[in-house]
Amino acid sequence: MKSLKDRLRLSTFAVLAAASLATFALSAADAAAEERKSIKIGYAVSKTGANAGGAAMTTIPNYKLWLADVAANGGLELPDGTKLPVEVVEYDDRSSAEEVVRAVERLAGQDKVDFILPPWGTGFNLAVAPLFDRYGYPQLAVSSVTDKAPDFVKRWPKSYWFLGGGRDYAGALAKMAAAQTEAGVINSKVAMISVADGFGIDLVNAARPAMKEAGLEVVMDRTYPVGTQDFTTLLKEAASSGADTFVAFSYPPDTFALTQQSQVQAFNPKVLYLGVGAGFPTYGRNLGPKADGIMTLGGIDIKNERNMAYRERHKALNGEYPDLWGSVITYASLQMLADSIKRVGLDREAVAKELSTGTFDTVLGETKLEDNQLRQLWLLGQWQDGNLVGVEPADRPGASKPVLPKKAWQ
Amino acid sequence: MTLMTALIAGLVLGGTYALAAMGLTLQYGIARIMNLAYGDMIITAAFAAFVLQGAAGINPILGLLIAVPGGFLLGYAVYTVILAPLVARAPNRGVLEVDSILTTFGLLFVVQGILLVLFGSNYTSYTFLNEPVNVLGATIAANRLIALILALGLGITLYLLLTRTRWGTALRAVAVSPQSAQLVGIDINRAAAFAFALGGGLAASAGVVISMYQTFTATGGVVFTMKALIVVIMGGVGNLVGALAAGLILGLVETLVSTYADPGLTLAATYAIFLAVLLWRPQGLFGRAVR
């Protein structure tokens, strides 16, 4: 009997012990939820494949720089003043739209990160926008050029668009060309070529009506397939078209090829406007003084000291200066995210609201979104003395005057 | 633009295609390896030229003297280390083809990965000999002219070696019938390794020349593989002169279409000819009927 009693007591003790262990484990879990050790930030970006060149220029180095800056600062600051280190989850989307969707799905569903940074490229940002929306993540779509941003903001209220649309850039170009025509510097004829792909199609579709509205005459309008590397025939045609303005809505390899081949052909339009790639730091460095006068999208205000300081830090960390269009905006968007977290904490709903309505102090200066879009942009830049300076909008503080006609190649 | 200018521009463009394709045709035709990493070998050479030019100040023409033997040795090493065991165990040509495609597909990512680690995924380019040269009234860039001259020079030299020397005859025998070649005392493994290495050397020469005027990225090799493959199949697998001719034809057609029709149609024209050749001469322009 005794032994049975003992046994009973023993088992009671065991149950009690197990129960207390369980409560202890539960309270430990509670404590972990209250006292989190880190903030998880994830992103999927094209590290390999066709988009890797663009992502390696505008997106990845700025993510790295921002994460390094946050780490140096002791982590991301929360409203109560505590700082938490950032834990990064990174995926390579291999330049495949299916892959980027899968990776974002994984970041949200499986890794359960606190915030997701956007992928590189207009198409990829559109591909993941419904997912960001469904999981309730704010999407800082920086490297996306789209005229439909106002519609997208209605459809996905937590999406933010930072780089303007084709109509903005084409409109600024047409405005500048019309003003120069009026001043008698150039004639009103324009020769345009464009790559038959997303960026080229968007821009040329916006440019056609914009040129017409500005009273300019498009005398040549040709498209070429992606991957074209020989522009002899197109440049010859442009040269014989009588246009003083030559516009190429091109991708980086095409931009470099056009630059080299127009030198060989001694093709000297009075306005030479080239697409993506003409704002890369290597572009200006490789060309040296020959770059002077070339126009493209973007530009910076070289009198903005914070931007210039950012450029030096970017070079110190990544070994190369940032490009002169989207890079600084990518970095500024991340500063906005950090500031929002500092003001309202990790609640994604509150962060999204803060991003929409708040005013931020970034490397761009005072930054505020209008209808979830960044509208303080350099839409047209020109290489002048080794810098790509912003010339349009001409009434924006810090704008430089365009220097035209462009000098002939030496 | 006059017809003459268009023709010369087309030949110069075609020279690049031909140069890029000749190595692949040797590798596929003689060594029987469908090398999907071929374009990445071209890119590797392009980066080598970039480094030699930038860091060591060696101009790309002299760089060829380093890159081409380098490509040859690399090709030889790849064949003997990775591919020879596959050849040894393959019971027939079909199996070897599948195995070599899978292996070189893997090799593609290895090469690409190494290049990504070393150079990142940025666009890379440098300027060399971007000077106008006047050829029969057409202005073309000197660096592109070099590609044409090199393609013609290498193509004709190798053709003469293959057809006029004992060594070349042995290589051709291996291409035509590896089994029978053994019967007359040809070491087919040595011949295949040599042909594959020669293809590596040609890929390196193409890479160096292309780097003089074209922007490249660590991940851009597949574009060259595709273009080279089209040229090889059009010209007839294993046929050097075929590759040379097909490359030049492709360049001419692209330029003529872009001049007289629309630049947007160049790609369509390329694939239209490719399709036409496949339909009417599946063995390629210069290939012999399949035995």
Distance CA A34, CA A294 (A): 56
Q: State whether residue A241 sits within 8 Å of chain B by CB.
A: no
**Which pair of structure tokens corresponds to residue B66?**
């380093």
Which residues of chain A are within 8 Å of residue B211 when distances are taken between CB atoms? none
pLDDT of B44 higher than 80: yes
Q: Are A338 and A358 in contact (CB under 8 A)?
A: no
Question: Same structural domain for residues A86 and A151?
Answer: yes
How far, in Å, CA of A264 to CA of A172, rounded?
29
For residue B138, give how far its alpha carbon lies from the nearest alpha carbon of chain A (Å). Answer: 10
Are residues A176 and A316 both part of a single domain?
Answer: no
Q: Where are the beta strands (DSSP E) in chain B?
A: 132-135, 138-141
| B12, part of any domain | yes
- Per residue in B211-235, pLDDT tens? 888 888 888 888 889 889 889 888 8
> Does the residue A15 lie in any domain?
no
pLDDT per residue as tens digits for the range B70-102? 999 999 999 999 888 888 888 887 888 888 889
pLDDT for the residue numbered B1:
59
Cβ separation A52–B121 shorter than 8 A = yes
Closest residue in B to A280 (Cα–Cα): B123
Q: Cβ A233–B258 below 8 Å, yes or no?
A: yes
Query: Six-digit token pair at A157?
Result: 């209220």
Q: Flag whether residue A236 sits within 8 Å of chain B, measured between CB atoms.
A: yes
Pair (A384, A259) in one structural domain: yes
Task: Give the domain extent around A143.
Answer: 39-164+304-368
Q: Are strands A76-77 and A359-362 parallel, antiparallel or unpaired?
A: unpaired
Q: Residue A328 in 3-state DSSP?
A: helix
At CB < 8 A and 24+ separation, what contacts does B273-281 make?
A: B273/B234, B273/B249, B274/B230, B274/B233, B274/B234, B277/B233, B277/B234, B278/B233
B141 and A264 in contact by Cβ < 8 A? yes
What letter would DSSP give residue A146? Answer: -
Residue B288: per-residue pLDDT: 64
Question: Which residues in chain A touch residue B217, judged by CB atoms under 8 angstroms apart?
Answer: 52-53
Task: Work out the average pLDDT over B32-50.
Answer: 90
Instruction: Examine the domain organization and report whether A86 and A159 are in the same domain.
Output: yes
The reply to whether B104 falls in a domain is: yes
β-sheet bridge partners, residue A221: A192
In a domain, B47, yes or no: yes
Looking at the complex, report in whole angstroms how far the Cα of residue B223 sits from the nearest Cα belonging to chain A. 9
**What's the CATH code of the domain at B204?**
1.10.3470
Whether the pLDDT of residue B131 is over 90: the answer is no
Would A325 be classed as within a structural domain?
A: yes
| Cβ contact B123–A263 (<8 Å) | no
Q: Which residue of B has its CA nearest to A222?
A: B263
Assess if residue A330 is contained within a domain.
yes
Is 50 exceeded by the pLDDT of residue B59? Answer: yes
The partner residue sitting opposite A265, judged by closest CB among B139, B219, B263, is B139
Q: How high is the pLDDT of residue A11?
A: 52
The half-sphere exposure of A298 on its side-chain side, counting CA atoms within 13 A, is: 24
- Is A38 in the B-facing interface, judged by CB distances under 8 Å? no
Structural domain contains residue B242: yes
CB contact under 8 A, A53 and B122: yes
Provide the domain count of chain B: 1
Instruction: Give B-chain residues touching A234 at CB under 8 angstroms.
Output: 258, 263
Whether residues A147 and A65 fall in one domain = yes
Chain A residues touching B215 at Cβ < 8 A: 252-253, 256-257
- A256 contact B CB<8A: yes
Q: How many CB pairs under 8 A join A and B?
A: 103
Chain B residue with CA closest to A53: the answer is B122
CB A310 within 8 A of CB A391: no
| A76 shares its domain with A155 | yes
Q: Which residue of A has its CA nearest to B255?
A: A233
Q: To the nearest whole angstrom, how far is the Cα of B192 from the nearest Cα of chain A?
A: 32
Q: Whole domain around residue B229: which residue ranges?
A: 3-265
What lies within 8 Å, CB to CB, of B256 at 6+ separation is B6, B7, B10
Report how far residue B127's alpha carbon sits from residue A217's, in angstroms, rounded to the nearest whole number: 35
Q: Above pLDDT 70, what percent of chain B?
A: 98
CB-CB under 8 Å, A232 with B9: yes
Residue B67, both tokens: 């890159």
Inter-chain residue contact A257 with B1, CB threshold 8 Å:
no
Between B24 and B283, name the one with better pLDDT.
B24
Same domain, A268 and A312: no
Q: Is the peptide bond before A118 cis (omega within 30 degrees of 0)?
A: no
> Is B219's CB within 8 Å of A50's CB?
yes
Q: Does A56 touch chain B (CB under 8 A)?
A: yes
CA distance, residue B38 to nearest chain A CA (Å)? 17
Residues A295 and A185 both lie in one domain: yes
Number of domains comprising chain A: 2
Residue B120 CA to residue A320 CA, distance in Å, equals 12
3-state helix, strand, coil in chain A (%, to 5): 50, 20, 35
Q: Phi first, then psi: give them for residue A277, nearest 5 degrees.
A: 115, -30
Q: The domain spanning residue A285 has which CATH number?
A: 3.40.50.2300
Across B23-46, average pLDDT: 89
* Domain identity same for A170 and A298: yes
Interstrand relation of A76-77 and A387-392 (parallel, antiparallel or unpaired): unpaired
Phi/psi at B32 (nearest 5 deg)? 60, 30
Same domain, A151 and A193: no
Distances from the Cα of A309 to the Cα of A245, A278, A313, angstroms: 35, 22, 6
Which residues of chain A are modeled with pLDDT < 70? 1-35
**Partner B contacted by A260 (CB < 8 A):** yes
Q: How far is the C-alpha of A116 from the C-alpha of A348, rounded, in Å?
A: 11
Task: Assess if residue A405 is contained within a domain.
Answer: no
Is residue B55 domain-resident? Answer: yes
Residues A249 and A383 reside in one and the same domain? yes
Query: What is the ipTM score, two decimals?
Result: 0.73
Closest Cβ opposite residue A49 in set B219, B254, B259: B219
In a domain, A132, yes or no: yes
Residue A273 at interface with chain B, using a CB cutoff of 8 Å: no
Tell me the pLDDT of chain B averaged across its residues.
85
Indicate if A362 and A337 belong to the same structural domain: yes
CA dist A5 → A8, A16, A18 (Å):
5, 16, 20
